[in-house]
């Protein structure tokens, strides 16, 4: 297994291409960011884009106020990154842009003390459980 064929999460779980996973990604600090319809639309549009590009196969998803459940298969890399990373990056940028444009005071709830970013929409410990059968 080469390093480009799998993605290691912070929970020390590995996801590989062409395998089905039950995947949960949570909003940082469990904020109810996904309660707004416009934010749910960003999530759905991002998933739709990944599907149209042939990067993922999605069996099902549920959008909760502070997290998302997906049953999906990542089929191929999006350039140098996994579809999961593309999804996180794209949705985070759009969600932050909405908060900034609306002068949303909740933006401060997503501040993080990290060298690589000032804000973080998604917690850095998504859960991925491999699905072995129907």
109-114 long-range contacts, Cβ below 8 Å, gap at least 24? 109/28, 109/29, 109/31, 110/28, 110/29, 110/31, 112/28
CATH 1.10.10.10 is held by the domain 12-130: no
pLDDT of amino acid 80: 94
Structure tokens at 92: 């985070």
pLDDT higher than 90, residue 81: yes
| 3 state DSSP class of 60 | strand
What pLDDT score was predicted for residue 12? 52
Q: Check pLDDT > 80 for residue 94.
A: yes
pLDDT at 11 exceeding the cut of 70? no
Beta bridge partners of 119: 111
Query: Tokens 């196969």 belong to which residue?
Result: 57
Q: What is the pLDDT of residue 108?
A: 84
pTM of the model as a whole? 0.85
For the stretch 98-131, pLDDT in tens is 888 887 778 888 888 777 778 889 988 889 999 9
Which residues touch 70 (CB under 8 Å, ≥6 apart)? Answer: 21, 22, 23, 24, 25, 47, 58, 60, 61
- Listed by start position, the domains of the chain span 12-130
Q: What is the pLDDT of residues 37-74, one digit of tens each?
A: 999 999 999 999 999 999 999 999 999 999 999 999 99
**pLDDT range class, residue 6, cuts 50, 70, 90:** low
Q: Which of 17-21, 28-32, 107-111 has the highest mean pLDDT?
A: 17-21
CA 10 from centroid of its chain's CA atoms: 14
Is the pLDDT confidence value at 9 over 80?
Answer: no
pLDDT of residue 55: 98
Q: Which of 19, 5, 2 is nearest to 130 (CA)?
A: 19
């Amino acid at each position: 297994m080469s390093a480009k064929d799998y993605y290691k999460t912070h929970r020390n779980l590995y996801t590989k291409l062409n395998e089905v996973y039950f995947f949960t990604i949570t909003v940082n600090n469990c904020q109810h960011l996904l309660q707004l319809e416009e934010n749910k639309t960003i999530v759905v549009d991002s998933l739709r884009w990944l599907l149209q590009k042939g990067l993922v196969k999605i069996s099902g998803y549920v959008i909760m106020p502070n997290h998302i459940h997906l049953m999906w298969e990542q089929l191929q890399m999006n350039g140098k990154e996994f579809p999961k990373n593309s999804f996180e990056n794209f949705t985070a940028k759009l969600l932050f842009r909405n908060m900034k444009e609306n002068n949303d005071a909740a933006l401060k709830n997503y501040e993080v003390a990290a060298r690589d970013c000032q804000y973080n929409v998604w917690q850095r410990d998504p859960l991925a459980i491999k699905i072995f059968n129907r």
